[in-house]
Amino acid sequence: MKKVLQKAYLALILIFLYAPILTLMVLSFNASKSRAKWGGFTLRWYQEMFDSSTIMDALYNSLSIALFAAIIATLIGVLACIGIQAMGKGPRAICMTLNNIPILNAEIVTGLSLMICFGAFGISLGYGTILVSHVAFCIPYVILSVMPRLKTTSSAAYEAAMDLGAPPIQAFFRVVLPDLMPGILSGFLLAFTMSLDDFVISYFTRGRGINTLSTLVYTQVRRGIVPTMYALSTVIFLAVLLFLLAQNFLPQQLEKLSRRHHARRAHE
Amino acid sequence: MSKRFGKQLLAGPYLFWMIAFTIIPLIMMGVKGLTDSQGNFTLNNLMAMGNPVNSQALILSLELSLISTVLCLLLAYPLALILRNMGSGSNSLIVFLFVLPMWMNFLLRTFAWQTLLEKEGVINGLLSALGLPGINIINTPAAIVLGMVYNFLPFMVLPLYNALAKISDDVINAAHDLGANRAQTLVRVLIPQSLPGIISGITMVFVPALTTFVISDILGGAKILLIGNVIEQQFTVSYDWNTGAGLSIVLMIFVLASMALLNIFDKNGEGTVL
Amino acid sequence: MSTPLIDLVGITKRFDDTLVLDDLNLSIRENEFVTLLGPSGCGKTTTLRILGGFTQPDQGKVLFEGKDISNVPPHKRQLNTVFQKYALFSHLNIEENIAFGLKIKKKSKQYIRDKIDYALKLVNLDDYGKRMPDSLSGGQQQRIAIARAIVNEPKVLLLDEPLGALDLKLRQDMQYELIRLKNELGITFVYVTHDQEEALTMSDTIVVMNQGYIQQMGTPEQIYNEPENAFVADFIGDSNIIDGTMIQDLVVEICGVRFPCVDTGFGRNKPVDVVIRPEDVELIQSENAPLIGTVSHLIFKGVHYEMEVEAGGFTWLVHSTSMSPVGSRVGLYVSPENIQIMNKPASEDEEAQVNE
């Protein structure tokens, strides 16, 4: 009895979570523009979506910004972790507090403060300002992903490698970095998805004439019924699904690989 | 010593980026909010929150985000508890199912509820097909609360689940062993021990709900203004950046105050964000 | 002989496809210190969890003072458990942990206060009431876990490898502490461990378990001196387990040599397992000895020397206070009362009969 109630509760929440998304997917094949009536099956909205240069430009912007932001944030973040680890207690605490500001701050405040700042220095808003801002709010997440791993692995393995005759740089690349890899990868993926999903900060730092997917959806939705948005939702949901499956699957694989790598090293 | 310092230098780009694109912008916002359009010091921008339109928006925001947070907590706690009790075997897939919608584009998720709730929307279409009267919920505070709960529920589930999963079975068995029934175990052991998760869940729902302008825009129509909408319009419609910055500062103070308030409950200080 | 307090009747338990307990019957008397001893996976912890009510048996009954409590939930049983990893409530201080059960039972403030003071004194942690569990050492946490259980005045205290997480020295101290507690409280202890030394030190009765079956039940002396089968002999202490033949009552042949023994009733020319403890093998002048061998290994162990002696095609483990260097020839002697005869395990026994 209790088991049945629990299952029913899980099912209800799942319906609540997925019904809206499924609705969008169904509507994306609806020939009628109405939300209330089924006008027959069509792929027209997908056609229109892929033909629309506005949507494709926005898609390109979102993906390229997310990719560059994630790469830059990961590089800066990993270097920062090593640097922060080498610091004394006080400076380290300051850095970690600094790190929490963008995470805890309301997005609207972060976005507006960046907009004010760019305005004050006469920097015109566009692709560059979005990218720079995205890097700024992505770095803290990279650090949160990498820091715990660095804490557990670094010193002992690193010192052991040097004890066995590896010079410091080599010890880092052969021992520390492979150990950090899963953390780095999950930090990179987190940064990528945070950037891709962002609306508020892009909205305030984008300037005119450039859209990311989120800002495009916002303007389109405010304008009224747009069936291409249903098609877009479907495509994005499926992409997210694949991406997340890979993300949940890949780090494990990578961990396995790095362990095997170590095992082989040990054999040699 | 020098080698250690050399290593510390690796944090340089990070510090540059954080100072240039987090600290300085916040300072600039502070300056904007405390000056008038001529650049003279003033408190008027902060006082603008006292203006009835703005203060009503703030009060409504507080109300709706509070209601949403409580609803999220009430929905998520049993869910997290069930997920915890399912044990570690099958649940990584199930937890994945509950987190998946969180990664769907936020705008599209909100847009989905608009299509469902609209006067000519999917729900009313289905209802009329069944010969039932339609519902009229779009452009009401209820629709906004629904959107908030929908969007932020996973942010509540995750920290709760993580906190509950940390409690060992033997601790729960010990409570039963000492005579506590299910309800007593929940109140005396599970809830107190998952408090850090509850706190961080509340933070992760309350702050974005309090400061959103998108959900209210899409589901609340033009008539219902939350404080997020008021601030956004200062910048994008009235172009009064000074007042907008002033209101933002006041909002930030509310956010910080609510987090400080929550931290008082979090004795152990474990309730970090993620 | 006091009356049985707990009876486990025909308990069977499976997890998925593994049979963990197979038709287990066990009776525990009032005021007894019973130890369930066995290697991991032998079913001892499952037995304890069934007693505590945390696991339901698939078949069988749990009787408490003659009444069936199989379906009584844990919080209504008159038993309390001390968990392996202590399972203290980390959000409560020591006093609140101890008071937990009493508050649930709505005891008066004064009663709870007295109980806390009494329990803290009993476990020698008088001044720790206001501390948080995390700030205590493992041994201290364990004592608090015991205090938390006993203030509820259970008739039976169940202890699940309570000393497993402690280091050797602390474990030995805690063994004496537990014996003292048991004597002061005058209640039944059911204790689970895989450590034979712990079991021998503390118990009134030891139940040796393996693969869901009770292998032997008896006093520590019985278990140690008269193991009923090779598993028990092997598991409890070091021993020489040698193939032998029971020639007739009181005579057994080992390594081709006939030894006088004290066992009867095995029949004639019957293959048996012979158990001889290493400390019972005496090294004597070789000319008078029934068996002669060569020392192949020698280790100094502090109290005694541990030697391996090759004799009669078998490697004998010998503990002796006198030393014979590696390579020297020694005579082996075992006095009749130190020779323990056991039946071969059932299946091999049948094979032997078929071969005849």
- CA distance, residue B194 to nearest chain C CA (Å): 10
At the fourth CATH level, the homologous superfamily of domain C239-352 is Nucleic acid-binding proteins (2.40.50.140)
Torsion of Cα atoms, C54 then C55 then C61 then C67, to 10°:
10
User: Could you read off the pLDDT of C17-37 as tens digits, one per residue?
Assistant: 888 888 889 999 988 999 999
Beta bridge partners of C260: C251
**Distance, CA of B214 to CA of C261 (rounded, Å):** 93
List the 135-164 stretch of A: residues with Cβ below 8 A of B: 135-136, 139, 143-144
- CA distance, residue C51 to nearest chain B CA (Å): 11
**Distance, CA of A88 to CA of A78 (rounded, Å):** 18
**Distance, CA of B233 to CA of B271 (rounded, Å):** 34
**Distance, CA of A28 to CA of A45 (rounded, Å):** 7
Residue recorded with tokens 């972790």:
A81
Q: Cα dist. A260→A149, A253, C130, C175 in Å?
A: 18, 10, 49, 44
**Distance, CA of B254 to CA of B125 (rounded, Å):** 41
User: Could you read off the pLDDT of B63-90 as tens digits, one per residue?
Assistant: 999 999 999 999 999 999 988 887 655 5
> Does any domain span residue B184?
yes
For C249, the 3-state DSSP assignment is coil
Q: Looking at the domain covering C4-225, what would its CATH class be?
A: alpha beta
- In this predicted model, which residue has the larger pLDDT, C41 or A204? A204
CATH topology of domain A51-267: MetI-like fold (1.10.3720)
Task: Fill in the amino acid letter for C273.
Answer: D
Interface of B with C (CB under 8 A): 168, 170-171, 173-181, 184, 188-189, 192-193, 195, 267
**Distance, CA of C134 to CA of A90 (rounded, Å):** 26
Could you list the residue range(s) of the whole structural domain that residue B126 is in?
Answer: 51-265
A34 interfacial to chain B (CB closer than 8 Å): yes
Average pLDDT, chain C: 86
Whether the Cβ atoms of residue B28 and residue A117 lie closer than 8 Å to each other: yes
Task: Fill in the amino acid letter for B20.
Answer: A
Q: How confident is the model at residue B138 (pLDDT cuts 50, 70, 90)?
A: confident
Torsion of Cα atoms, A76 then A81 then A86 then A87, to 10°:
90
**Distance, CA of B245 to CA of B30 (rounded, Å):** 7
* Range C112-127 average pLDDT: 90
Residues of chain C neighbouring B177 (CB-CB closer than 8 A)? 52, 54, 74-75, 79-81, 149
Residue A43 token pair: 């792929």
**Distance, CA of C37 to CA of C43 (rounded, Å):** 10
Mean pLDDT is lowest, of B55-64, C132-141, C164-173, C187-196, for: C164-173
Order across the sheet with C33-37: list the strands. C79-82, C156-160, C188-193, C33-37, C205-210, C213-218
> Does any domain span residue B22?
no
- CA distance, residue B165 to nearest chain A CA (Å): 17
**Distance, CA of B180 to CA of A98 (rounded, Å):** 44
> Does any domain span residue B11?
no
> Does any domain span residue B216?
yes
**B49: DSSP letter:** G
User: Could you read off the pLDDT of B9-55 as tens digits, one per residue?
Assistant: 888 889 999 898 888 999 999 998 888 888 888 888 888 888 888 88
Contact A232 B120 (CB under 8 A): no
User: Could you read off the pLDDT of C3-20 as tens digits, one per residue?
Assistant: 788 999 989 998 888 888
* Range B93-112 average pLDDT: 81
List the 63-102 stretch of B: residues with Cβ below 8 A of A: 75, 78-79, 82, 85, 92, 94, 96-98, 100-101
Contact C53 B176 (CB under 8 A): yes
**A125: DSSP letter:** P
Nearest chain B alpha carbon to A195: B105
CA-derived radius of gyration, chain A: 23
Alpha helix positions (H), C186-239? 196-202, 220-225, 230-235
Task: Fill in the amino acid letter for C162.
Answer: P
Total domains, chain B: 1
**Distance, CA of C335 to CA of C254 (rounded, Å):** 13
pLDDT reading at A37 higher than 60: yes
Residues of chain B neighbouring C152 (CB-CB closer than 8 A)? 178-179
What b/e sequence results for B209-243 when a residue is b if at least 16 CB atoms lie within 10 Å of its CB, and e otherwise?
bbbbbbbbbbbbeeebbbbbbbbbebbeeeebbbb
**B35: DSSP letter:** B
CATH number at residue B188: 1.10.3720.10
Whether the Cβ atoms of residue C65 and residue C188 lie closer than 8 Å to each other: no
Q: What's the gap between Cα A66 and its chain centre?
A: 7
What b/e sequence results for C126-161 when a residue is b if at least 16 CB atoms lie within 10 Å of its CB, and e otherwise?
eebbeebbeebeebbbbbbbbbbbbbbebbbbbbbb
Q: Which chains touch B (3 or more CB pairs under 8 A)?
A: A, C
Nearest chain B alpha carbon to A16: B150
Residues of chain B neighbouring C87 (CB-CB closer than 8 A)? 168, 170-171, 173-174
State whether the Cα torsion A53-A58-A62-A65 is positive or negative. positive
Q: Residue B32 is nearest to which of A116, A204, A218, comparing CB atoms?
A: A116
ipTM for the whole complex: 0.84
